[in-house]
Structure 1
Amino acid sequence: MKLRYIGMIAVLGSSLLLSGCMSEQQAASAPKVKKSQVVDSAIEKYSSEDRLLHFAAESSSLMLQSEGNQLYGPVAPYLMLSLLGEGAVGTTQKEVFEALYQTPTSRKTLHSFNEELLGKYLGSGDIKMANGLWLDEPVKLTTSFKNIAEEYYYGDINNVSFTEDPESAATVIAKWAAANSAEGIYDKSLIESGFAIVLLNSSSLTLDWLNPFDVKLTKEEMFYADGKELKTAMMHQSYASYPYAAGTDYVAISLPLKNGNRLQLILPNEGVDVRSLIDTKEKMLSLFWIVENKASKMTISIPKFRAQNSLDLQPSLEKMGFERAFSKDAADFSRLSSNVSLYLGRAMQNNRLSVEEDQVNGTAYTQVMMPVTPEEPKVPPVVVPEEPMMEFKLDRSFVYLISDQDGVPLLQGIVDDPSIMN
């Protein structure tokens, strides 16, 4: 008779933020990942990039609604849930892949897309990711799942003894996390006796501004949120011409980071609740697809800040359709392990982020834990009239998006209080 195990997912995404200075010729361009000419009723026509963006938009709209500074990275949950879907069977697998916006046809390209996505972040670049799997000694993976985990998800598979020595197992995993980008943030207390499997995604971002902010221009100013006046360090830039987008309820700009990465800032209009900009999947998608098609003289003021959070992702994932996967009675992950029964019991994400004058830094880890369950040409210059200077000043709650050179949404967040320097 199979042992019965709980599958707990603790999902972590990449974490980082921006700070930078640039010339007008270096203004950030629109992301390469663009909206497909499709409708939601024809999801089988979506590209692989579309599917990731739809998952990112829906999950972000749910994850970022709590009060206070929020951080969430959708790439790691997408990758980890994709991998776990490969170990699911029947209705459980159907539910997982539908929640990931996959169809039977599109899943044929899922492996190669995720392999290519992860491949960009391997090695010594400014964005790094790594996947590790730890099995309790009696646990055996199926051959097919092991091959998929190693070939397409670059999984580093190891054996430990969660049952006999969880403390040593936690130390082993923490050392791996430290060596693979998540140094100093791994919580060893999460590892307990009786675990069957732990899957971990660690990530880091070390992003330089294309043109750093001048530290001499940083000064203490007021930030307004929830009727409070908060003192915060504000960084400044000025431009003769700068692109921006003006929506019904917001103004948005993008600042470029090196190697094609960018940070987008969305400032709600006066009187508009910042969370109302992202409270549906459709609204979040519209922010992913913003194009800055206007230009003006501009001063830009951005608070420098640090943030850290730990998110319980399970409630939001269940709202997205991952219900059976979290049920010990209904889940079926028999394609994952050949000798134990598994289900997902918990999902978490841990992020750390800092935005400074010279650099944006972030570390994060995603963890999936499965513990044992109790028995149950030239033209003449044109003279242009002098135009007024536009001011883009983030002096109230705002949304930010960080994406890579291909427009992959690495991190989304809200700043309610930049004066919190954790």
Structure 2
Amino acid sequence: MDLEESISNQTDVGLEITKQLLQTEFKDKNMVYSPVSIHIVLSLIAAGKTTSDLDQFLSFLKSKSVDDLNSLAYILVTSILVDASSRGGPCLNFANGLWVDESLPLDHSYEKVLSTSYKAALNHVDFKSNPEGVRTQVNSWINKETNGLIPEILSPHSVTTLTSRIFANALYFKATWDDEYFDASRTRKGEFHLLNGDLVKGVRFMTSRHRHSISAYDGFKVLSLPYKPSRDYKDMRGFYMHLLLPDARDGLPALAERVFRSFEASSVMEKLGLPANAMVMMHEALIEVDENGTTAAAATVAQSYRALAPPPEVKEEDFVADHPFMFLIEEGRGTMLFMGHVLNPLAG
């Protein structure tokens, strides 16, 4: 497996999902989601496929084989998204789980892949007699793995006696800025220009007097803010938040079309060509950014049922995010943890 190519393909999948979301469910409201969380759940499902729709999963995930997906998952779980808080770096948790009906034994080779490549917690349950109990169990697991930020992704009665498997991923991220970029005493309130031309007042603007990396492109610019890295010299990872700000106050839709090639993710998958007739996927994410750093979490749950640009020009300039913009959090080699956009910072 070519790691750089696999991460690039994972990023491309995330960008396609982002573009679809910006054009549909989130065209008029703020959005945050985790591309890597959705990708890993789809990979979990693909790893157990032996039918004709495996090719569709591989095509959607832009992967040559299930082995490549499994290899990437192993690297994500054991290397790229491991906790570094004990060494001063980001606090990270990236966990996978599978709940399978006890009447449907898993293939031994699939169980081995789950434990070795995905480090997934495997739970044999009884959907037929206790679907609500299983739902509570899944929610409790996600609540724990996201440090209490996502307490209930599965609503009451969303798990039924027809459910055969539940695949889940939980992601938690908490990191401080690499330097004291923002002083709370300098945070000021100002106006934010909405896409429709209206103004909202009282928006808190964090202000920095530091020199930052700002890349200027034709029609937009990108501010990159690094998070504090691990003190372990062997840990070569770097995590960043990138803010993509269009020059025009109403330029976000055009920027989304140019840059990017709690919702029901399965409807998005289906629009992008992935078979979802026997699968329901839910995704939830949240993010909080302040003068100290970032806290974010995401969870993805999929239920299956019984058959039924050019190089940047770097120069000194201001970066005032007073109109709609995009953001993303990535590990330096390209793994996209979170993506989203802000249309109205007071809307939540």
Report if TM-score (shorter chain) is over 0.5.
yes
Residue of 16, 39, 59 corresponding to 1:58? 16
How far 1:394 moved relative to its partner? 0.4
Distance 1:208 1:198, change over 3 A: same
Name which of structure 1's ranges 181-190 and 163-172 shifts more when overlaid on structure 2: 181-190
Query: Contact 2:4–2:333 (CA<8 Å) still a contact in 1?
Result: no
Q: TM-score, normalised by structure 2?
A: 0.84
Q: Please state whether the residue corresponding to 1:410 is helix, strand or coil.
A: strand
How far 1:45 moved relative to its partner? 12
1:114 equivalenced with 2:73 (yes/no): yes
Query: Contact 2:14–2:35 (CA<8 Å) still a contact in 1?
Result: yes
1:192 equivalenced with 2:153 (yes/no): no
Residue of 251, 255, 263 corresponding to 1:311? 263
1:82 equivalenced with 2:43 (yes/no): yes
Q: Equivalent residue for 1:10? A: none
Distance 1:416 1:86, change over 3 A: same
Q: Please state whether the residue corresponding to 1:63 is helix, strand or coil.
A: helix
Query: Contact 2:33–2:298 (CA<8 Å) still a contact in 1?
Result: no
1:138-177 equivalences under 5 Å are 138-177=103-142
Q: Please state whether the residue corresponding to 1:204 is helix, strand or coil.
A: strand
1:352 equivalenced with 2:286 (yes/no): yes
* Separation of aligned partners in 2, 1:63 and 1:268: 19
Deviations 1:41-72, CA, capped at 9 Å, x for gaps: xxx99822222122122222212332110112
Deviations 1:99-126, CA, capped at 9 Å, x for gaps: 111124xx44332222011213245642
* Separation of aligned partners in 2, 1:118 and 1:64: 29
* Separation of aligned partners in 2, 1:45 and 1:257: 23
Q: In the comparison of the two structures, how many residue pairs are matched?
A: 318
1:69 equivalenced with 2:30 (yes/no): yes
- For structure 1, the 5+ residue unaligned runs are 1-43, 286-309, 328-342, 377-387
* Separation of aligned partners in 1, 2:94 and 2:49: 24
Query: Contact 2:249–2:324 (CA<8 Å) still a contact in 1?
Result: no
Instruction: Report the aligned-residue RMSD.
Output: 2.4
Q: Equivalent residue for 2:253? A: 275
Residue of 220, 242, 252 corresponding to 2:189? 220
* Separation of aligned partners in 2, 1:369 and 1:124: 32
1:244-323 equivalences under 5 Å are 244-259=214-229, 260-279=238-257, 283-284=259-260, 310-323=262-275
Deviations 1:312-371, CA, capped at 9 Å, x for gaps: 222321232213xx23xxxxxxxxxxxxxxx32x22210111111112111221101124
Name which of structure 1's ranges 183-192 and 245-254 shifts more when overlaid on structure 2: 183-192
Deviations 1:218-250, CA, capped at 9 Å, x for gaps: 1211111022211211110023x4432221211
How far 1:75 moved relative to its partner? 0.5
1:368-379 equivalences under 5 Å are 368-372=302-306, 376=308
Code of the residue aligned with 2:239 in structure 1: it is N
* Separation of aligned partners in 2, 1:356 and 1:46: 32
Q: Percent identity?
A: 23
* Separation of aligned partners in 2, 1:366 and 1:90: 23
Code of the residue aligned with 1:94 in structure 2: it is D
* Separation of aligned partners in 1, 2:265 and 2:204: 32
1:48 equivalenced with 2:36 (yes/no): no
* Separation of aligned partners in 2, 1:413 and 1:61: 10
Q: Equivalent residue for 1:404? A: 331
Distance 1:136 1:89, change over 3 A: closer
Distance 1:100 1:215, change over 3 A: same
Query: Contact 1:207–1:359 (CA<8 Å) still a contact in 2?
Result: yes
How far 1:81 moved relative to its partner? 1.1
* Separation of aligned partners in 2, 1:396 and 1:56: 24
- For structure 2, the 5+ residue unaligned runs are 86-90, 230-237, 309-314
How far 1:276 moved relative to its partner? 1.6
Code of the residue aligned with 1:254 in structure 2: it is S
* Separation of aligned partners in 1, 2:291 and 2:3: 42
Query: Contact 1:208–1:258 (CA<8 Å) still a contact in 2?
Result: yes
Q: TM-score, normalised by structure 1?
A: 0.70
Instruction: Choose 1 or 2 for highest CA Rg.
Output: 1
* Separation of aligned partners in 1, 2:263 and 2:93: 21
* Separation of aligned partners in 2, 1:46 and 1:204: 24
